[in-house]
Structure 1
Amino acid sequence: MLAVVLTAQFMALLDVFIVNVAAPSIRVDLHASGAGLQLVIAGYTITYAVLLITGARLGERLGHRRVYLAGLAVFTAASLACGLSQSTGQLIAFRLLQGAGSAVMIPQVLSLIQRNFTGEARMKALGAYSAVLATGAAAGQVVGGVLVSADLFGTGWRPVFLVNVPVGAVLLVLAARVLPRDDSGAQGRARGLDLPGLVLLGAAVSALTVPLVLGEQEGWPLWTWISFGAAAVVFAVFCGYEGRLARRGGAPLISPRVLRVPGMGLAVFRLATVMAVNSGFLFVLSLHIQGGLGFSALRAGLTFAPMAMVFGAVGLTWRTWPAALQRALIPAGFALAGVSALAVGLLLRDGDDGGLLLYAAFAVGGVGLSLGFSPTLTRALATVGQQDAADASGLLATVTQLGQLTGVAAFGAIYLGGIESQGAPGAYTSADALLVCFYALAGAAALGAVSGLVRMRR
């Protein structure tokens, strides 16, 4: 069961990042604009992030097995449609549908782990879950590079989506056999879906992310700033509505009981920060090493291999490290991520390729990002009771996706804006824009380190 659900988790996470390496090919083949390219990448994450909590609630209401299978079927069908898309608009639309399928499927993974494992077995299962999340991001870059460079049957970038189809079909057969049957009694006691809360949250996320993605290309017109303000207002309305619903005995989208779990607020901040740094790092660097340095898709993908391997190894082993180090892991991880961002930006300035030191900097970044992510997620989930498994799963998965979305949109806008302000793109202008962007990434990592230090003092 664990192997089946984690394979689906890996596949869904892979699709967040596998498109990064394919982005230059998509841009040329479909004549996509910079904003269109960001929407191809971020569109998946928008619906994924907005619908995750509702996906968790659907699993609680209709049964985790049934909802997992439905989400996997939608994801697989949408992957086929993405691979066959003939325009940027079609690809964006099917990416939105693909994200919706993931949002329905992925919350069931954590819920199934929480409900079917206890004690040390649960900790090990959560460790494997964290390792899958850790490796999926960088592995997406590697797999994307291999598939794009292979140019199977002259299909170019399309296999990065089509590869999901046979894997999804096999998982559908296996999952139907190995996943535990749903408890009809528990389903009958499940709570409502809180559709008004879903609409408010979706509106707030959309009002924040659309101007982040489109604003730089449009020259930051007035509507982008109005949209940012509207996002803050709608989110405040969402919080007020959720609080009133909970006081009336309803079933809010985000349970206040989960938010009151000790350390949950800090965990939310850290997860959002580390995933923003991670996704921004990978997205911007993919554009630079292919567009600025002229790397092939295969070489670009393999460039991230050290980061993927180290990220996964640390995610699987950090719990066995000496007890004296455990309290310092999270702030040290953020600090290492910041150092790595600075090192990569400086190594690539002036249009250089960084040499072997670049791979060392990637490895340091892999260690840092994994230490910022894996202990935070595992410890947060380990403190939540089984009755709150669905809500906690939805909340933390949503925060993870919103962090990724923010990273692609915000740091992508910094990088693309830097290139356009300097004229025609090239190795030097791309490197200058990259350096500014990586200073911003290092600053975000520093905020995460500060949050870790605050927690240590408490």
Structure 2
Amino acid sequence: MTDLQTRPAVAAAAPGGPRPGALLTLILAGQLMAVLDIAIVNVAVPTIRADLHATGAALQLVVAGYTIAYAVLLITGARLGARYGYARLFRYGLAGFTAASLACGLAPGTEALIGFRVLQGVGAAVMVPQVMSLIQRTFTGPARVRALGLYSAVLAGGMAAGQVLGGLLVSADLFGAGWRPVFLVNVPLGVALLLAGRRLLPAAPGDPGRRFDVPGLVVLALALGLLVVPLVLGHELGWPAWGWVMLAGSGVLFAVFAAVERRVAARGGQPLVPARVLRAPGLLPAAGAVFLVMAGFAGFMFAFALHQQAGLGHSALKAGLLSAPVAVGFGLSSLHWQRLPARLHRVLPVLALALVAPAYLATGWLLRDGGPVDLVAELVLTGLGLAAGCAYSPLFGRALARVDPADAADASGVVVTLVQLGQVVGVAVLGTVFLGRVRFPATAAASGHALWTADAVITGALVLAALSALAGTRNRGKVN
């Protein structure tokens, strides 16, 4: 973070305000909390089941309630930030997330835990879009690229760290609390960030003149809900008929949303997603590639964790530690890709995707017979993470590089929502592919072949990502 503080940056705050580096540390810590809570709870599920005598369906909602609320409300959270102020909404979201974490840790039963998990997701959806908006409005040029690299590293590191931290906390059984510390760990951090935020967050007002596109908000939230709920729960419930009905309904509502937005714009109103945002140079091809990269990455992490725990018999902690090289590689390359020769920056995402696609195949091939995750596999996994980060981080920066600062909130909401949907779709699709090829209790060989199949599907998705990245490369020069 010291490097960030010493490089050129444009602060949105008034002269004499907080240093951009300190502000970035604060908001990325909030982002990390939100990312951790997607993964950390998975490790605690068996202990929650035993302690609360929860049914399988209830446990699915404990895990999925957070993700559903988070993904559905991200764009709404971005619009709230634009109207009432990004810093204010970051504080409100952080406070809600922290309070809900405390409530989850003290929940007396399964039903209460599910409700508080949904509230956690709401808090995250209010807080997270403000992170990207504050980055967009605080940093420019190379400083923005580095800030986006740190943002990408947090996203990647949070996935692996969630599993490792969850395993440590559950295994430690602090004060005999079992699973509860996986939620309570957020409370002291959240309080500390709230106190620091009073000094570090800029006192920038929102734009009260921004009217809410209420019909657009309602239709989009419903469309996203109909999409996310079956994707999150479908593979666990055997893809029931209602799930397919919801998916079809989401397509209809997305078409309705587009019609509503056109009508709002024609009447001189302020649509939820202005057409000029989607027309920003490079946004759509880069965002599409980011979606596919995150779908592959999240889906692989999910399938790889299942293979280790169900096929190889590893503990959740060991599985998290063996998955760490992927996330560490992703985070390191997200931070430092801009140190590569400048002549490579324009084509770097395409080159990186050309490497990461066969790396997924190589991983599946090495582990297809159920052998141990040896040194060779770990080296391939590290390379996979490095290449994925070299694709993701510059693509993320490219998607937002030419967006007008006035549209930062709307563009951030769109791109971050696509990142979250990519994770949801990746886990749902790759989870279905993996689970469809293996029956439990599984042998190591059967699990390895299921992982090999899932990796082949990821490779196909990354070929599409490379084509999308190439289309964006033809229309833009250097990432800035």
- Length-normalised TM-score, structure 2: 0.87
Q: Does 2:377 match 1:358?
A: yes
- Aligned to 1:187, the other structure's residue is in SS state coil
Aligned equivalent of 1:10: 32
**CA, structure 1 residues 446+27, in 2 after alignment: closer, same or farther (shift >3 Å)?**
farther
What pairs up with 1:90-129 in 2 under 5 angstroms?
90-129=112-151
Work out the CA distance in 2 between the residues paired with 1:151 and 1:40.
Answer: 20
Task: Give, in whole Å, the separation in 2 of the partners of 1:214 and 1:68.
Answer: 29
Report the equivalent of 2:246.
227
- 2:207 aligns with one of 187, 194, 202: 187
1:180-207 CA deviation, whole Å, 9 max, x = no partner? Answer: 1133xx5333x12222222212222222
Preserved contact between residue 174 and residue 181 of structure 2 (Cα < 8 Å): yes
Aligned equivalent of 2:343: 324
Matches within 5 A, 1:5-404: 5-26=27-48, 37-85=59-107, 87-183=109-205, 186-189=206-209, 191-404=210-423
Equivalent AA in structure 2 for residue 76 of structure 1: T
Q: In structure 2, do the counterparts of structure 1 residues 131 and 270 end up closer, same or farther at CA, with 3 Å as the change threshold?
A: same
Give the Cα–Cα distance (whole angstroms) in 2 for the partners of residues 221 and 166 of structure 1. 41
In the other structure, the counterpart of 1:453 is 470
Question: Quick check: 1:283–1:408 contact (8 Å CA) kept in 2?
Answer: yes
- The residue identity in structure 1 corresponding to 2:344 is L
2:450 is aligned with what amino acid? A
Residue of structure 2 equivalent to 1:418: 437
1:406 aligns with 2:425: yes
Cα deviation digits, residues 87-117 of structure 1 (max 9, x gap): 5544333222111101111111122222233
Q: Measure, in 1, the Cα distance between the counterparts of 2:115 and 2:303.
A: 23
Q: What amino acid is the match of 1:356?
A: L
Q: 1:215 to 1:405 in 2, by over 3 A?
A: closer
Over 3 Å counting, the alpha-carbon distance change for 1:122 and 1:452 in structure 2 is: closer
In structure 1, the residue matched to 2:446 is 429
CA–CA separation in structure 1 for the residues paired with 2:73 and 2:259: 20
**Could you give the per-residue CA deviations for residues 199-254 of structure 1, whole angstroms, max 9, x where no partner exists?**
21222222223333443444444333222211111111111111211222212221
Change (3 A) 1:291 1:306: same
Which deviates the most, 128-137 or 7-16? 128-137
* Residues 14, 137 of structure 1: 8 Å contact kept: yes
Supply the distance in 2 between the matched residues of 1:292 and 1:457 (Cα, whole angstroms): 44
Please list the CA deviations of residues 280-316 of structure 1 after superposition, one character each: whole Å capped at 9, or x if unmatched.
Answer: 1112222221222121222112112222222121111
- Residues 113-157 of structure 1, C-alpha deviation per residue, up to 9 Å, x if partnerless? 222334443333333323323332233233233323323233333
**Distance in 2 (alpha carbons) for counterparts of 1:77 and 1:416:** 36
Deviates more, 1:106-115 or 1:83-92: 83-92
Which amino acid is 2:158 matched to?
G
Q: Is the 8 A contact 1:134 1:374 kept in 2?
A: no
RMSD value over aligned CA atoms?
Answer: 2.3
Amino acid at match of 1:304: S
Q: CA deviation at 1:167?
A: 0.4
Q: CA deviation at 1:25?
A: 4.5
Structure whose residues are more often helix by fraction: 1
- Evaluate the alpha carbon distance shift between residue 97 and residue 128 of structure 1 in structure 2; reply closer, same or farther with a 3 A threshold: same
Judged with a 3 Å threshold, the aligned counterparts in structure 2 of structure 1 residues 311 and 394 are, in CA distance, closer, same or farther, namely same
- For 2:404, give the aligned amino acid: G
How far off its partner does 1:446 sit? 2.0
SS, match of residue 319 in structure 2 = helix
Report the alpha carbon displacement of residue 171 of structure 1 after superposing the two structures with TM: 0.5
List per-residue Cα deviations over 1:294-352 (Å, max 9, x = no partner).
Answer: 21222112112222222121111111201232233212322333223222222222322
Tell me which amino acid in the other structure corresponds to 1:187. Answer: D
Q: How far is the alpha carbon of 1:175 from its aligned partner?
A: 0.4
Paired residues of 2:96 and 2:120 also in contact (CA < 8 A): yes
Work out whether residues 224 and 250 of structure 2, in 8 Å CA contact, stay in contact via their aligned partners in 1: yes
Distance 2:200 2:366 in 1: 49
SS of 2:437 mapped into structure 1: helix
